[in-house]
């Protein structure tokens, strides 16, 4: 799923690890990258069925999506321990924004809650010729 930067749905906190302060995600992107819903999109919920992985499905999906979003900045969150997803994103031009992370709580099927620390990765728009 890819959605334009949106004040209402992208309202999670981003923590700056170095300065020990947190920012509202929407405000942070607006201020730091001059982001607007027109020039910046957010990518979420990428997953490939277990038995279909390692066949290039995610890469093809992302390439198709990013071709359409070539003139936009695109950012995402991914778990800081998810090396395979990070590699996938890096190879498609995403860079880890150093020092920033978000903390996400998941409720699992068994009712337990898992805390997940996620890094932020950004792919900046192709410069206009
Ligand atoms: C991450 C995920 C989407 C990758 O999907 P996929 O279709 O298997 O990925 P692809 O086959 O297109 O692989 C593309 C690249 O990702 C990286 N990659 C994917 N799976 C990997 C693995 N198990 N180990 C190492 N690198 C891996 C590689 O760089 C790979 O390129 P390569 O094949 O040229 O080496 C899939 O493993 C998944 O659904 N995981 C669970 C959900 C998840 O973590 N989603 C990301 C949330 S942000």
61 pocket-lining for ligand 1 (C-beta < 6 Å): no
For residue 59, give the 3-state DSSP assignment.
helix
Rounded to an integer, what distance in angstroms lies between the CA atom of residue 120 and that of residue 69?
A: 18
With CA atoms as reference, report the closest residue to 30 among 14, 46, 43: 14
Residue 14 above 70 pLDDT?
A: yes
Between the CA of 46 and the centroid of ligand 1 the distance, in Å, is: 10
Rounded to an integer, what distance in angstroms lies between the CA atom of residue 73 and that of residue 125?
A: 5
> What Rg do the C-alpha atoms of the chain give, in angstroms?
15
- Mean pLDDT within 48-72: 96
* Domain range annotation of the chain: 2-123
71 pocket-lining for ligand 1 (C-beta < 6 Å): no
Phi, psi (rounded to 5 degrees) for 17: -60, -40
Between the CA of 53 and the centroid of ligand 1 the distance, in Å, is: 7
Rounded to an integer, what distance in angstroms lies between the CA atom of residue 54 and that of residue 88?
A: 11
The pLDDT assigned to 129 comes to: 67
Mean pLDDT of the chain: 93
What are the counts of helices (DSSP H) followed by strands (DSSP E) for the chain?
3, 7
Q: How many CA atoms lie within 13 A of 41 on its CB side?
A: 16
The pLDDT assigned to 105 comes to: 87
CA-proximal residue: ligand 1, atom 16 (nearest): 88
By the 8 A CB rule, do 113 and 106 touch?
Answer: yes
Q: What is the pTM of this model?
A: 0.92
2-123 maps to which CATH number?
A: 3.40.630.30
- Mean pLDDT within 40-59: 96
The pLDDT assigned to 108 comes to: 85
């Amino acid at each position: 799923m890819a959605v334009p930067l949106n004040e209402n749905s992208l309202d999670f906190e981003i923590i700056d690890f170095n300065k020990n302060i947190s920012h509202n995600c929407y405000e942070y992107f607006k201020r730091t990258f001059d982001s607007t819903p027109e020039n910046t999109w957010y990518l979420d919920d990428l997953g490939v069925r277990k038995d279909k992985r390692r066949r290039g499905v995610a890469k093809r999906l992302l390439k198709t999506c990013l071709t359409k979003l070539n003139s936009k900045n695109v950012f995402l969150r991914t778990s800081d321990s998810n090396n395979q997803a990070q590699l996938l994103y890096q190879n498609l031009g995403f860079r880890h924004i150093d020092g920033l992370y978000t903390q996400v709580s998941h409720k699992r099927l068994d009712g337990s809650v898992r805390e997940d620390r996620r890094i932020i990765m950004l792919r900046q728009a192709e410069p206009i010729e």
